[in-house]
Structure 1
Amino acid sequence: MGNRLSGPFPKVLTNITSLTNLSIEGNNFSGSIPPEIGELINLQKLILSSNAFDGKLPAKLAKLVNLTDMRINDNNFSGKIPDFIGNWKHIQKLQIQGCSLEGPIPSSISALTSLSDLRISDLKGRGSPFPPLLNIDSLKTLILRNCLIYGEIPEYVGDMKKLKTLDLSYNNLTGEIPGSFYKLTKADFMYLTGNQLSGSVPEWILERNKNVDISYNNFTWETSSPIECPRGSVNLVESYSTSANKLSRVPSCLKQTFPCSASPSQYKYSLHINCGGKELNISGVAKYETDREPRGASMFYPGQNWALSSTGNFMDNDIDADDYIVTNTSALSNISAIQSELYTTARISPLSLTYYGLCLMKGNYTVSLHFAEIIFKNDRSFYSLGKRIFDVYIQGELVLKNFNIEEEAGGTGKPIVKNFTAVVTRNTLKIHLYWAGRGTTGIPARGMYGPLISAISVVPNFQPPTVVGKRNYLVVVVVAATAAIVIALMVLGIIWRKGWLGGKISAEKELRGLDLQTGIFSLRQIKAATKNFDAKNKIGEGGFGSVYKGLLSDGTVIAVKQLSSKSKQGNREFVNEIGMISALQHPNLVKLYGCCVEGNQLLLVFEYMENNCLSRALFGKDATHKLKLDWPTRQKICLGIARGLAYLHEESRIKIVHRDIKTSNVLLDKNLNAKISDFGLAKLNEDDKTHISTRIAGTIGYMAPEYAMRGYLTNKADVYSFGVVALEIVSGKSNTNYRPNEDFVYLLDWAYVLRERGSLLELVDPDLGSEYSSEEAMVMLNVALLCTNASPTLRPTMSQVVGMLEGRTAVQDLLSDLGFSSINSKFKALVKHFWQNPSQTISLPSNGPNTESSGLNIEAEERGHLLRVSSVQSEV
């Protein structure tokens, strides 16, 4: 173990069939794991952590049925976590951290009832619900960190009474903290950091002397909130919902983005911190503030100029009190004695370490991060074998991936400074260091891994004013007051929303025969909630009927879709929507609460979406409708749509093609999370095969060419539509309404021209100014163009899109298929003709496989740019 041996896995070991323990941790072995290792059926312990192995885990590992301890952390494997882990019935310790495997966690894990230590972290791939752990009641350590898990935390987790460490941080968990967690009296550490948990924070969390971190969530504190951020064993920083940002009684440290609470006259222009050390005045450089706050596994320290948040405890070191500040006893090389003092100490964290620069004047800054590896050594001792790797984010942007101080500095005990430019737009600078499961954890000793930093300096890239006078202060106040009024007007306008669906139907018996996974509402309940469908509660008119806002007797706000009596076409769509949506649960899909079927009244009851739809947010005609969406919000919305579609296409029990993805079918909740609406027009695609749709329904500007022209429908039609929506999110312009000149029908056409010119960033919404990442914008724009490829086979799947947007996989090269150029040309000609003759019916020849001679009858409706196409048989 830890001898820095290199080369492929030593196959000679696979001949020792009597082996019971095999540990090659902390070396530099590379290549794939040989399948022959599966012949070592007597193995009880197999530790392969901290090497450079790649490839898929061989299927023959399933034969190692006597395993009790398996660790494969910190490698470069590919593929998913295999189902065969369910064969390891005797396993007690399973660690899969930072090894590049993809989720989801297989359901076969439920068979591992002997587990006492389960650690899985930093998975790739797409999201999944909470893994089935109901029958595993012997767990003492449960770590499922950054595993892309969504949905609510199961109540049964609170029944795992032996738990001492619970880490569910950095997932997409929603809902409230389960009430059963109160019973976890033996849990010394509980990390729920970085999720979307909501509701009130249980009182017992504040009362118990346990290390609990619930920072970076969306709690509401409906009954009461702390008058200040606790500084003990509970970390609550940025734990409050965005709705609290306007509440003066809530401390700023609880609010999202940690807003400045000082007056503009108190804003600062620089910051210097000696991390883990004493106050230090370096002549001619700066005065570095002291950072000697006591240690803690869930610590928050609010200073006057900066704040600190630290999460995590060092595992397996058998030490009651961890050290979060380390000291160097030898002088550093190639540096003056006074500057060497800056690297005498450092702050370290086993998981997450965040520094906040508070109340900085808005503008561009140079952020200098000072590092030196002062724990590991350059000698030939065991202390030379450690490897520290972590990630660094500034203002939410990943700036250092798999950062290794020793490698970057050229050895241990050598300082290195990494400089970055950061834009401060809301007076707060956020520097986040995160351990993603990489590097050694037990070499040279337990508890020597995780992010380490020696000092931070922040200086402005602009000339700061010498004095902030009364006149300047008055200008700031006037501007702030004006902004507050505009925001207030926007909030008043956001309460309106728009809905879809309706139609006449008499299929009450058929609907009641469906196996619904939702509730049935009475007409009396709906009438009471909507005040008898009062016109004042009408919030939208969809293509199939009206939508009303309602309030149930328990206080739940709902949206009621009333099927219109104008169209018989609504019958089947309504039945399909009920049957499908009732089985679908995903954070990025609008939730169906239930339905109402009485006589000829057919109603759908959905969750109410406070911020209406993406179309209004992006293209609203006035300030009361259009929202000011900053760049992180646009990213979140785009990724949310992608995750929702990936679920519909690949993860749900029934494979669904939406067929009408557009901005008006993407709704926004109170936190501006994107949720896909209107599955009533979706086409079931159960066998996942290409097929011809005899009725094409979509919206011009969003429809894929092969679908509009030939009726070929696959999930790649949705991918195309998503690409158009992504383009609109970045540009803030409507694909159908933006025409730079008469030669271009769509915004999409213009995007391809700009791409050829190498000036794709010209598409970025001017309203963003400079407050966006050009690198991230290029990723979104290139992904959008990939999705809108004329050839459906060259478009990525939505799970691949999610991977590219999350930065886990590189953006693919844009290719073209000449075989589809004619279809694309006909489609563009059709659309151009539509723009010139919006009321005309057009027929184009089509060579469908089921007709000797056929055509597509296309009725273009100017209002809403709805394009309906139906297959028409021609007589020969």
Structure 2
Amino acid sequence: MEPRSYCRFDCPIRARELNVWRVICGVLLLKSLIVSTVSQDTTDFISIDCGGDGGKDLRLDLEWLTDEDFLESEEQLKKERVAIPANVTLNETKASSRDNAQQLKTAMVFLPGRSSRSKYCYYLNVSSSNANTTTGNGNYLLRAMFPSKTLVARNSKDKEEDLMSYGTRFYFAVDSTVISTITLLDDEPQTVELVIYSLDDAIYVCLVPLEDRSTMVAISSLELRPLPDDLYSLGRDGKSPNDPGQSNSADGRNLWTTYLTTIGRLNFGGNTSSSAVRLPDDIYDRLWYPVEIPADMSSEILLKRNSTMSFLSYSDQGFLDPVKAPREVLISAWEGSDMNSSLPFSFDILAAQSVRPLQSFYVNMQLLDVDPRDGSGQRSVNIYLNDLGPDDSGFVWGADGVIESFEAQVWYNYKQTFRNDTAVFRLEPNGSSTLPAMVNMFEILGEFDSVRKRTAQLDASAIKQLSNNLRNDNTLDTAGDPCLPVPWDWLDCSIEIPPRITQINLSSSGVSGIIPEEFGNLDRLTVLDLSNSSFSGNLPESLKDIVTLRVLKVDNNNLSGDLPLFKERSLVNLETLSLSQNKLSGDLSSLIQALDNPTVSLDLSHNKFSGSIPHQIQKLENLNHLDLSNNELSGILPLESFDLNKLQTLLLANNGLTLPLDIWTSISRASSLQTLNLNGNKITELDLTTYFHTLPKPLGAYKQQVTLLGNDISRVILPSDDVINARDLCSSSGESLIDFSLLIGGSSWCDKLVRSNMTLVERFLCRQDKDQNFCVPWNGNDSGASKKALVIGLVVSGLLVLIMICILMFFLGRILKRMKDLRQIQEALAREDVRPPFYKYDELKANTKDFSTANELGRGAFGAVYKAHIPDNSLLAVKLLFPTEQNISDFLKEMVLITGIKHRHLIQLKGCCVRDKKRMLVYEYAENGNLAQALWGTNRSMVLTWSQRLNISVGIAKGLAYLHEELQPKIIHRDIKPQNILLDRDWNPKIADFGLARPVDEGSTQRATSIGGTLGYFSPEYATEGLLTEKQDVYSYGILLLEIISGRQCIDATAPQNEIYLKNWAFRSYKEGVLSRIAEQSLLETVSVEEIETTIKTALLCLQDDYERRPSMSQVVSMLTGNALDVAIDIVTELKDLQHLYESLFDAQSIIDPNQTERVEREESALLTTSTYSTN
């Protein structure tokens, strides 16, 4: 459907020079003006006095409301001292302080701290506020005003607290879309105004702290005004969102729509010493600001005002009015002093674009003759843009009609674009005019269509239902949309559109309630962790429909009732299931049938499950841990349990199980089984005839621990004496040589034996503790402890005294040096206000198996990384720094940099360790290794999908954007490469190895005294001049992005000669129009060529020789995420107006310096003469 045309006659628009996209241009003659007094019903207006007391505004005839009915969790936030009302010292001499002056004297402030949330949202119910709809869908004017930094908190005791010490940078978001970054100014408030289209019956307006939650958030007022749909044209491609063909149903709503952000509304001729024109003059409460005449133009511009003019109503004429400018604005004007005078005014387009990349602009100008001079003259004008006239092939609006005193001429364009950083408009009288130029008003709004869709509706409904059911002492993070613009603290979401909820983690959060049945709608959920809480009721039946679940943990709750009747293999992807410490009951057969090979850990302990253990358990080939203890299970333990080759722990204590007589052969041959607990069952007889005979040799390597304590075992059948060789069990000195055990101590069979006459095997079996010595005879009063231990203790004590004297003398110097090193580290950490936990060296040594090569994960420039198995079954990565002269310096540098940084895409430092010259950093463990292994590893078991590659690329970009743009001072990594990108269990990237990272103050330029990093990833300015800016990381990221797409290393000596250097090959492919050839071939079978080429172009933008032309990392994130799964074509298009660099991403011109492809060809031949080297 084409946009409506409002043209009464032709307009001389030159589309080639202007690059106008679907321009709607009109000269609309309206026999109009608004009646002198308009009565506006403000019933549907929402006006929030944030942090204030509300009340009646008599001048505007508005009722200001308090936060109470709009701020989500307002009562709890105030109780926790997260939300605090504050007073503001308002500088009333500033023009920006004149509107809402009373409201700008107060603010609602949200402080950082342990109780801070991911976002703070105001819930604006619009279900009946728009006259055009009963569902809230429609146009709205939204205005938020933010205070200056001069904030003083008001507490409950009427004492004041200065808040100026906090950082004041945060994000302002509407629904799921970040509108802009707000930084509170020193002594001046600021305003953000939008025209938006609501897709629901409520609008969320959210304030989002920086990701590390280190800054304070504040707002003074929030206003929402319903607008008629015909006032501004919103929606994609110029359509109204209500046009046919755009779905707005419950499950198929628009994926995006268009917002307009107000850049300026100018009231020419208005009183510059008064407030802006708004209510009651403007029935929609827009702000029309008077314009100062430039000092150098004071002799050429006259102010005109005619308050006696009377006009007809717009509606009386039957014309559609695109603006409906208020009468108070139209009756004043600028007029040229004579026929040679022009009327110039300008807008800073670059400043507007820096806040938010804007696709195009909505511009509107109205001309009305307020000084007709008795009809003795004729007034008509030409309108020029950026001082280009008709002879300069510039853009011109020319008026063939005459500006009359009884009819307004309206000039507007819904899709205006600007090539220059500043848009300069100029009005001059044209050749037919006998009167000077005149202008009454001008309006300009920027359009951006990166408005994101909210979380998928069924997901949002399910999670809202859960949050509504929850009861807890501390308020959970439940404000606004669950996933966007940032997810709630206890959620993870996918990056698809609309986003889907993939993980829920409420572990140990102190919540209670009932798990809603709607959970089954979360069909992308992979992790559900509700452990250590107080949930009650049944497990919902709908859980059986979530086939994507990998982790389900609801242990330590108050759940009861039978399990859902799972369909066979309905939990086919489940790896970890923990239902322990509940009151669940029923049979386990359907649950076991629902599981499949991926299941690794199954904990159903401390419940009321009954029946037998299903034989189908044998199909769980990867099962490592099975805990069925403390239930009401009965029957014979199935032999199939011991056919599981990876099962290490089998806990069956305190049930009613019995054993088949031939089970011991199966137990002894279960090579992976380390722990079997059968305590407290109904086992009465053991036949161990074959047990010792079938044990694997040598016995010293056998580690299996079997316990049958608490069973009423009355009969044990032992093998003949010649089967057991005592020398295999005990040494000649009476010490045990084995590490396995089979314990039945306390049974009636053991009680009947005479302790002093027990055989070696009888003592081995009748222990209650595996450490009890069975190699020496027991006496009647002896618990089995060897007397030899006393002798050994005395000897060891004597030796220790002697050794300590020697060590004290010999190592005194070394101990003092170590203390000095520790003091140096502690002082450095104290200066940086970071205090990570210190790990014990012996623990790390044991957990890494003495830093064995089997546990080595990889090596970097500063050290080797080892996998550490922690006793709580978790994994950590331990980086052992290489001993060098600057080792302490490197250690302190990485420690100080990383400890204070927290971001989901940066590796998290868990702690450190110092031992002599050994220095270790302990990180979170990344299950999938590094990106280099995933792309090129010899043992890689899978090829990364396009979705995984895109997710990894976006994650790295977000991590770098955080380092560059959200930290103060910013941090430059300097060594971005695949080996330094770790991948967690879900293939999410984590930037690691900060050994070369350097903090840089905002606006400063540094030069590196030594070049650090990896060949192939250096930017030209860094390699040749040592110039260090964040654009070095952008360049490295561009190389990395090409590697991710192509599956090739940046320098590959095995490739054909013209493809050895990936960057050069990419530029050459771009020049030849065959960009897709550099992509890994498997991707071309599943992803469109356009999508891949757009992503490659993003990489090329990062690889410009001129570092100032490279995009920022936040712009890269916008390019890669954008509006749709096709890698944000529209976001890239937005950027083309930001700089000339982007102008032709999608036309025949080059996005690159035309000489660059020639330069890389010359560089390639030079590089080929150098020696071959490895990028690893």
TM-score normalised by the chain length of structure 2:
0.38
Q: Tell which structure's C-alpha radius of gyration is larger.
A: 2
